[in-house]
Amino acid sequence: MFHLPHSSMSGRLLVAGLLGAWLALGAGAARADLWAFIDAQGVTHFSAEPLDERYTLFFRGQRFDTERDAAGALAADTDVNNPGVALAARARVQAYFDILPAYKSVRPHLRRAAERTGLDYALLKAVIATESGFDAQAVSPKGAIGLMQLMPATAERFGVAATGARSLAQQLHDPAVNVPAGARYLRHLMDLYDGRLDLALAAYNAGEGAVLRAGQKIPPFKETQNYVKTVLALYRQLQPLVPGDLALAEPSSRIRMTLPAGRQRQSFDEKQ
């Protein structure tokens, strides 16, 4: 039996929804792996696959069969022979984020945005980790800005405007502005796609028009498919641990990630 983050019906619906999102990404056996590298500024970049030689394995997900129905075991979250391994992995992923100064500084903004939009706190955390690695100054080659990598036109749609003191770009570099606006946009997408998290994430990455042109499916863009997988994998690992989980967790061998010299060292161990 797999471990549910909560024993409530909402927890079961979350697991079913996550599995459904993985089902939509393709059939057959796969792994919910996460790869990452830390750049010279100390920002962690995540991906569901190694995009280049800088990426190393951050988390090895268990193999799962996407042909199982939602009532079956979610093998990406568990090892049926040793469930303590999955719990230990989740504990270490969460501990890794908890020591990141950039994450700790924006937690209040995430909490308020989650409360106001009804989005899961862990989902916002996973989106920001994937979008910007919690770098509030991030700017993409296409011009997306800040923690949730909002395009200026999208930000304006969801209530962000220049002020007498700050330009629109300066506004978007402020976590107190960026996170609520990004959360409102993601909430809009979740409502637009009737709670389909996979489609909401695909539209967040590629645009609503791209999802429409793909026939209300995840567009056939490698970047977008990788993005959806990455956010879902992080979201799964960031589900809150409940009392007693750590007592069941088992030690494991290592995958290590370390910040560059001159910054606080951070390492991460994971069983392979």
Which sequence spans correspond to the domains of the chain?
9-248
Beta-carbon contacts of 182 under 8 Å, excluding residues fewer than 6 positions away, are 113, 124, 127, 128, 146, 147, 148, 149, 150
Q: What is the pTM of this model?
A: 0.75
Spatial contact of 201 and 182, defined as CB atoms under 8 Å apart: no
> Active-site residue 156, yes or no?
no
pLDDT score of 112 more than 50 = yes
Spatial contact of 186 and 197, defined as CB atoms under 8 Å apart: no
Average the pLDDT over 77-89 and give the result. 61
- Which CATH architecture describes the domain 9-248? Orthogonal Bundle (1.10)
Please tell me the predicted confidence (pLDDT) of residue 126.
Answer: 96
Q: How confident is the model at residue 88 (pLDDT cuts 50, 70, 90)?
A: confident
Please tell me the predicted confidence (pLDDT) of residue 89.
Answer: 76
Please tell me the predicted confidence (pLDDT) of residue 240.
Answer: 86
Among residues 67, 115, 131, 223, the one annotated as catalytic is 131
In 70-90, which positions are buried (b, 16+ CB within 10 angstroms) versus exposed (e)? eeeebbbbbbeeebbbbbbbb
Spatial contact of 106 and 179, defined as CB atoms under 8 Å apart: yes
Between 211 and 31, whose confidence is greater?
211
